């Protein structure tokens, strides 16, 4: 058997003003598999497929493999160039029996609201109707008709934090090859829950739901079950939570199971949908919390969701309220990092911090600071133990405030306390740590935290789903409508 693979991934916050261009993909590398893949977090599933193919006596061809940090829409020529290289490889290196793609599922480019639907449709046209096409998606994806029609199999992560990417990749490999051999006939049941939100799978009812999906897959006639959560900050028609059930040839059963699971998810919506607290309410809670470190997740400025990572709203309120023994990071500010490196450890200077990228960054703060630590490259584990780099970084202490900030040169969310400790800042000994992240920080910070609070403050990622200013996505979704399935639910919105 001959297998074709490629990876083209980014998550697009269409409300972010920062375009995703060549530099954003080059930052994480644009690998071409014909030259051999270098092991990274991004290539890991493809290398696993390669090992499996070699064991099975199959031939595998890797095309373009690339990823960009979530941000605003991808520049049109960048998307088209990467897409066309993948399609050209599929045409020139073929014929293939199976196509395995790593996609995000929430990639938007100028002129393309549904990059994955576009790529899969074109791939189908290149390889023809008889080649098995499977794609692995982040669960923060928008499942479209174009995607489900073009692909034989779509499998999303089940876990958020996304700790199960390799398991899902293995399933995709096994099922897509079984499809190519004619052993199974994946038949999709799809249910649109008409919900826009975020759902953390460590929460007890979500945990039960995710475990239930796995148990359903243990039934012999059920091939794969996914809950695509959707990515809220994308103004595209297909932004919604959707259940996908693939059975082996039984459309009725697939449809029934998808509807039933969708109903179960709908019934628990009030319990499982993310609700953050405001900045001042969170700081009120810090002031009365039991001893120990209180971790505040600055969800509105999570670079992993396309925010710039340089907002100053929480930092400003910490200073205004006089709350000390506090650390905040990672705050993206390459200019300030450069100035700190120039000044050196121990230097005192007046520094303009943050608030540079866009209106959602808030105002820059002009602060008297002392440089406490410097590092040429700050590396930390991500949520799945792969390492990420935040580039050059600086630990500054704001004079007279006992507030510490870690500045970084590269946009990255805070996955681990090592954001602070690598620079020498003992964050566990402090009262409060503000981390720019949404949920991927959780596992690493929980062991040192007395309390964790998800803050939904101002910024590029609005925590209130009813306030997202959609224009292209219809407003018939929960929580905007109490019942988006009801006749006339849009009246009065």
Contact residues for Zn ion, defined by CB under 5 A: 138, 140
- Give the shortest CB-207-to-Zn ion separation in angstroms: 17
> Which one, 135 or 336, has the nearer CB to Zn ion?
135
> Which CB, 138 or 333, lies closer to Zn ion?
138
Under a CB-based contact definition with an 8 Å cutoff, are residues 64 and 8 in contact?
Answer: yes
Q: Is 459 left (phi over 0), alpha (psi -120 to 50) or beta?
A: left
Alpha helices by DSSP H, listed for 302-438, are 313-321, 334-343, 418-421
Cβ at position 483, least distance to Zn ion in Å? 27
CB-wise, 372 or 440, nearer to Zn ion? 440
Minimal distance in Å, beta carbon 138 to Zn ion? Answer: 4
Q: Which is nearer to Zn ion, 262 or 306 (CB)?
A: 306
Q: What is the DSSP letter of 300?
A: G
CB of 177 to Zn ion, least distance (A): 26
By beta-carbon proximity to Zn ion, the closer residue of 328 and 465 is 465
Of 141 and 257, the one with the shorter C-beta distance to Zn ion is 141
Residue placing its CB nearer to Zn ion in the complex, 324 or 381: 381
Output helix, strand, coil percentages for the chain, rounded to the nearest 5.
35, 25, 40
Write down the least CB distance from residue 439 to Zn ion, Å: 9
* CB-nearest residue to Zn ion: 140
Cβ-based neighbour number of residue 187 at 10 Å: 19
Pairing of strands 379-381, 186-192: unpaired
Measure Cα distances from 71 to 21, 24, 288 in Å.
10, 9, 36
Q: Which CB, 138 or 171, lies closer to Zn ion?
A: 138
The nearest distance, CB 11 to Zn ion, in angstroms, is 6
- The CA distance from 327 to 434, in Å, is 6
In the complex, the smallest distance separating the C-beta of residue 101 from Zn ion, rounded to whole angstroms, is 17
Question: Do 391 and 409 meet the contact criterion of CB atoms below 8 Å apart?
Answer: yes
Angstrom distances, CA of residue 252 to CA of 190, 224, 248, 249: 11, 15, 11, 9
CB of 299 to Zn ion, least distance (A): 13
Could you tell me the smallest distance in angstroms from the CB atom of residue 332 to Zn ion?
A: 19
**Residue with smaller CB distance to Zn ion, 140 or 194:** 140
Query: Does residue 330 have a cis peptide bond before it, meaning omega lies within 30 degrees of 0?
Result: yes
To Zn ion, the closest distance from the beta carbon of 195 in angstroms equals: 16
Return all residues near 96 (Cβ < 8 A) that are at least 6 apart.
2, 3, 4, 61, 90, 127, 131
Residues in the chain: 493
Spatial separation of the C-alpha atoms in residues 122 and 32, rounded to whole Å: 20
Tell me if 223 sits within 8 A of 248, measured CB to CB: yes
| Nearest one of 68, 21, 94 to 412, comparing CA atoms | 68
Measured from the CB atom, the residue of 202 and 253 that comes closer to Zn ion is 202
Q: Alpha carbon of 309 to those of 112, 127, 182: distances in Å?
A: 26, 41, 48
């Amino acid at each position: 058997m001959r297998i074709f693979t490629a990876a083209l991934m980014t998550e697009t916050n269409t409300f972010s003003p920062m375009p995703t261009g060549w530099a954003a993909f080059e930052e994480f590398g644009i690998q071409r598999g014909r030259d051999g893949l270098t092991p990274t977090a991004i290539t890991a599933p493809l290398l696993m497929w390669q090992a499996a193919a070699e064991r099975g006596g199959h031939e595998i061809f890797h095309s373009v493999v690339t990823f960009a940090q979530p941000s605003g829409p991808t520049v049109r020529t960048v998307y088209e160039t990467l897409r066309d290289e993948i399609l050209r490889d599929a045409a020139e290196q073929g014929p293939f029996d199976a196509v395995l793609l790593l996609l995000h599922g929430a990639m938007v480019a100028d002129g393309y609201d549904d990059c994955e639907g576009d790529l899969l449709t074109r791939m189908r046209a290149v390889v023809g109707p008889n080649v098995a096409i499977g794609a692995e998606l982040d669960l923060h994806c928008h499942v479209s008709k174009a995607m489900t029609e073009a692909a034989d199999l779509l499998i999303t992560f089940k876990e958020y934090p996304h700790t199960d990417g390799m398991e899902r990749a293995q399933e995709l490999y096994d099922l897509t090859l079984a499809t190519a051999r004619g052993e199974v006939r994946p038949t999709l049941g799809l249910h649109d829950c008409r919900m826009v939100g975020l759902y953390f799978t460590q929460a007890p009812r979500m945990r039960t739901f995710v475990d239930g999906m796995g148990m359903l897959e243990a039934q012999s006639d059920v091939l794969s079950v996914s809950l695509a959560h959707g990515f809220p900050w994308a103004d595209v028609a297909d932004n919604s939570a959707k259940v996908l059930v693939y059975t082996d040839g039984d459309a009725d059963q697939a449809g029934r199971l998808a509807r039933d699971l969708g109903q179960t998810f709908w019934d628990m919506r009030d319990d499982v949908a993310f609700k953050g607290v405001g900045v001042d309410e969170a700081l009120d809670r810090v002031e009365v919390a039991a001893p120990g470190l209180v971790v505040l997740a600055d969800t509105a400025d999570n670079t992993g969701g396309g925010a710039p990572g340089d907002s100053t709203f929480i930092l400003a309120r910490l200073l205004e309220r006089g709350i000390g023994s506090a650390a905040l990071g990672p705050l993206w500010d390459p200019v300030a990092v450069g100035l700190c490196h120039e000044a050196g450890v121990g230097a005192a200077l007046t520094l303009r911090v943050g608030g540079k990228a866009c209106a959602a960054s808030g105002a820059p703060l002009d602060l008297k600071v002392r440089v406490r630590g410097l590092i040429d490259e700050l590396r930390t584990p991500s949520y799945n133990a792969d390492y990420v780099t935040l580039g050059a970084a600086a630990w500054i202490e704001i004079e007279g405030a006992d507030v510490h900030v870690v500045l970084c040169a590269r946009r990255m969310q805070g996955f681990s306390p090592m954001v602070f400790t690598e620079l020498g800042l003992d964050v566990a000994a402090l009262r409060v740590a503000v981390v720019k992240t949404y949920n991927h920080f959780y596992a690493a910070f929980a062991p040192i935290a007395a309390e964790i609070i998800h803050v939904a403050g101002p910024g590029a990622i609005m925590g209130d789903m009813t306030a997202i200013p959609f224009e292209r996505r219809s407003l018939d979704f929960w929580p905007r409508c109490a019942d988006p399935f009801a006749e006339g639910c849009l009246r009065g919105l």
